[in-house]
Amino acid sequence: MEIPYTVEPRPDTGVYNAKLGIWLFLASEVMLFGALFSSYVLLRVGATTWPHGYEHLNIPLATVNTVVLITSSVTMVMSWASLAMKDIRKYRVYMGSTVALACVFLVIKGFEYAAKFEHGLYPSGSTFLAIYFTLTGLHGLHIIGGIIVNCYLLGPGTRMWKTDPARFTNRVEVAGLYWHFVDLVWIFLFPVLYLL
């Protein structure tokens, strides 16, 4: 049986099913990160002293990571735009760049974590470190999830371009919506944890 509304919009919703699905998933993700941000506010406001992020964390590395992630968002949306313009070669370049940039982000994050561990700074060290590792760790897991999906779309998933290009283009758009959300979370994590 064929899956309905993978390309054409469903009359009652006005969008193809996967798009509504990803937005509902992202709504649940907003609540997941929202609960953690809310906990952060509660802990920070209730604490008698709270370290400044810039005293303990590496701002230059985090700034580079911000640039890397924003750039990967642009390459992701460009990969979708390339498919919409029927250019599979450019799609591969942009999607490959997105995956590569995501890996760069994780490597830099790895260096940051390693530096903390070398100095004996673990999540159990303080409330600040606990919330720092929880938020950046959960965000890092989302990056890994995005890399897996994007690698599939770059590798075996590309086969669909020959059989059903419109559906494949929509798949890339949906994966892009998730990826931009991961970027969006970092846009808030960066000032909240590092700069304030």
Partner 1 sequence: METASAESVRKHVRVYVTVFVALMALTLITVTISTLHLQPAAAIIVALCIAALKASLVAAYFMHLISEKKLIYAALTLTVVLFLVLMVLPVSHFADRGL
Q: Report 40-59 residues binding partner 1 (CB under 8 A).
A: 41-42, 45-46, 54, 59
Cα–Cα nearest to 77, from 5, 173, 11: 173
DSSP state of 87: -
131 CB contacts (<8 Å, ≥6 apart)? 36, 39, 40, 43, 193
Cα–Cα nearest to 170, from 1, 5, 48: 5
Q: Report 2-21 residues binding partner 1 (CB under 8 A).
A: 7-9, 13-16, 19-20
Q: What minimum distance in Å lies between the beta carbon of 114 and partner 1?
A: 23
Cβ atoms of 133 and 141 closer than 8 Å: no
Nearer to partner 1, 35 or 115 (CB): 35
84 CB contacts (<8 Å, ≥6 apart)? 169
How far apart (Å, rounded) are the C-alpha atoms in residues 1 and 152? Answer: 24
Cβ atoms of 57 and 194 closer than 8 Å: yes
Letters for 174-193 (x = contact with partner 1 by CB under 8 A, - = none) are --xx--xx-xx--xx-xxx-
Q: What minimum distance in Å lies between the beta carbon of 117 and partner 1?
A: 25
Per-residue CA distances from 96 to 79, 88, 93, 154, 155 (Å) = 9, 12, 5, 7, 10
Which of 38, 88, 114, 155: binder of partner 1 (CB under 8 A)?
38
Which of 4, 23, 122, 137: binder of partner 1 (CB under 8 A)?
23
Q: Report 114-173 residues binding partner 1 (CB under 8 A).
A: 166, 170, 173
Q: Hey, what are 73's tokens? A: 């968002």
Q: Report 57-86 residues binding partner 1 (CB under 8 A).
A: 59, 63, 66-67, 70-71, 73-74, 76-78, 81, 84-86
Residue 95 interacts with partner 1 (CB under 8 A)?
A: no
Q: What minimum distance in Å lies between the beta carbon of 120 and partner 1?
A: 26
**Binding positions for partner 1, rule: CB under 8 A:** 7-9, 13-16, 19-20, 23-24, 27, 30-31, 34-35, 37-39, 41-42, 45-46, 54, 59, 63, 66-67, 70-71, 73-74, 76-78, 81, 84-86, 166, 170, 173, 176-177, 180-181, 183-184, 187-188, 190-192, 194-196
